[in-house]
Each structure stands twice: as structure tokens, then as C-alpha cells.
């Protein structure tokens, strides 16, 4: 099946740990995105990438890092510098010629314990 | 990118038509308008996209006036399963050469459908 796969669905992080959320897509999309969503709130853009080996900071990039070594993969690392990481994280992808039509994964819940 | 403004929440009853309006006063000539639906703990999913006048698909209609400074998502005969958050997104459909399309979402409209 074509789509975007995020893993894990649920993740617990201890204070001071780095954790990495996986995002893989087989849609052959060039652009990929990471959003953060806090309970009852809208989506906030963390990082986005339009081509391999290039990515740009979104509105809330501090405490996060990404890589884009392959077209189909865009992992997000939540570092210990992110002081309030508990949230729902969504990965998305888009074909560059499709404008605003983007496709989302099922999301990953990250909780700090 | 054009900033969008939507009502924070709306209430409706099963079987009614629901209209959610999005304001985008500084929409650019090349911008398209796209609506997404999000259920709790899921990623948003595409509902409908338009540029001007009216667009209709199997789930919704999108009305865009001539000045394109606003748009209205119309959901006919809503059911309980339409309870969700609805986002309006405005941006350039054209391929960006050398630039990036950040795709910034607003706060969305929480629609609650009651029995």
C-alpha cells in the first residue's frame, strides 16, 4: 500500500534523552514535513525538506533535528534541549506540483516520563 | 503565504448543513484554497481544493467569491462522524523553483455534531 508510515505510534522519553521518530513514504514525494500538535491545538511546523540532503527550519525548530539522506525517509530527533516535548507528532509529504495537497502519517505520541 | 482566520468552534445537529468560512484577505493570485479534516489522534486528511467559484466532490462543496478573500466549506447533512477539526490552507499550487512551500496551518475550526 502507498502512504506514509510513522513509528513508533507511542514513545516514552526520560528526561535528558534523545529520541528519534521515524517517517517513511513510498509515494515518491519530494517534500516532507514534521508538525507538532499539542492537545486541543493546531499544527505547528518543526522542519521541512524539499529535496534530499536539504531541509529548512519551521516555526518551532529549537530542540529538534532532522536528516534527509534518502527521498523516502525524514526522521525527526527530539533532543534533550527540547524542554517540553510531550506532544503528538505528524509527518507529511507532498508532491511538489500538487500545491497544498499533502498527505499525513498516522502520527506518533511522545510522552516524557 | 496568506494568513487564514476561521471560527474557533461550531455546533450543529445531525442532518443539518454546515458552512465553515475561512478568511484570507491577502491571498495571492496563484494561491489555491485547500480544506483538511482531522480526527483526534490522526493526521489531517484532504477534503477539497479550489481556486475560484464553486467546487463540489462526494463529501463537500467549496464556495469561493469573486474577490477570493474568503472561502466557505459546506458539509451537507452532517452526521456524528463529521465531528472533527477542519483546517483551511492557502498557498501556491505552482511548483516552487528555488523556494519552499512551508504549508502553515491555522488553528482550525472544531465542529461538534450533536444527535
Compute the residue count for chain B.
Answer: 115
Q: Which of B40, B73, B101, B106 to mutate to test the interface with A (most CBs of A within 10 A)?
A: B101
The 10s digit of each residue's pLDDT in B4-58 is: 899 999 999 999 999 999 999 988 888 888 999 999 989 999 999 999 999 999 9
Cross-sheet strand order for the sheet of B61-64? B18-23, B70-75, B61-64, B53-56
Peptide bond into A8 cis (omega under 30): yes
3-state secondary structure of A98: helix
Asked if B105's CB is within 8 angstroms of A35's CB, the reply is yes
CB-based contact (8 Å) between B7 and chain A?
no
User: In which region does residue B25 sit, left (phi positive, over 0), alpha (psi from -120 to 50) or beta (all else)?
Assistant: alpha
Give the mean pLDDT of chain B.
88
The pLDDT of residue B100 is 52
CA nearest to A102, candidates A25, A40, A8, A36: A25
Which three three-digit cell numbers place residue A55?
A: 531541509
Asked if A99's CB is within 8 angstroms of B34's CB, the reply is yes
Provide, as residue numbers in chain B, all residues whose Cβ is less than 8 Å from the Cβ of A21: none
Residue A21 near residue A110 (C-beta atoms within 8 A): yes
Provide, as residue numbers in chain A, all residues whose Cβ is less than 8 Å from the Cβ of B49: 99-101
The 10s digit of each residue's pLDDT in A40-85 is: 888 899 999 989 999 999 989 999 999 999 999 999 999 988 889 9
Amino acid at each position: 500500500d502507498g502512504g506514509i508510515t510513522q513509528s513508533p505510534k507511542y514513545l516514552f522519553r526520560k528526561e535528558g534523552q534523545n529520541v528519534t521518530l521515524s517517517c517513511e513514504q513510498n509515494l515518491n514525494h519530494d517534500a516532507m514535513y514534521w508538525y507538532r500538535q499539542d492537545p486541543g491545538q493546531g499544527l505547528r511546523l518543526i522542519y521541512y525538506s524539499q529535496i534530499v540532503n536539504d531541509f529548512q527550519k519551521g516555526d518551532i525548530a529549537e530542540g529538534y533535528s532532522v536528516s534527509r539522506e534518502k527521498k523516502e525517509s525524514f526522521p525527526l530527533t527530539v533532543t534533550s534541549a527540547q524542554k517540553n516535548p510531550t506532544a503528538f507528532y505528524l509527518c507529511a509529504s507532498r508532491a511538489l506540483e500538487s500545491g497544498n495537497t499533502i498527505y499525513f502519517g498516522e502520527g506518533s505520541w511522545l510522552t516524557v516520563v | 503565504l496568506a494568513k487564514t482566520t476561521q471560527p474557533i468552534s461550531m455546533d450543529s445537529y445531525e442532518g443539518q448543513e454546515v458552512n465553515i468560512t475561512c478568511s484570507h484577505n491577502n491571498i495571492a493570485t496563484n494561491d489555491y484554497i485547500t480544506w483538511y479534516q482531522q480526527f483526534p489522534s490522526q493526521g489531517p486528511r484532504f477534503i477539497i481544493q479550489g481556486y475560484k467559484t464553486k467546487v463540489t466532490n462526494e463529501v463537500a462543496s467549496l464556495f469561493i467569491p469573486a474577490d477570493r478573500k474568503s472561502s466557505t466549506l459546506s458539509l451537507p447533512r452532517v452526521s456524528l462522524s463529521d465531528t472533527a477539526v477542519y483546517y483551511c490552507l492557502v498557498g501556491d499550487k505552482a511548483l516552487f523553483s528555488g523556494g519552499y512551500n512551508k504549508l502553515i496551518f491555522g488553528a482550525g475550526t472544531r465542529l461538534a455534531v450533536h444527535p
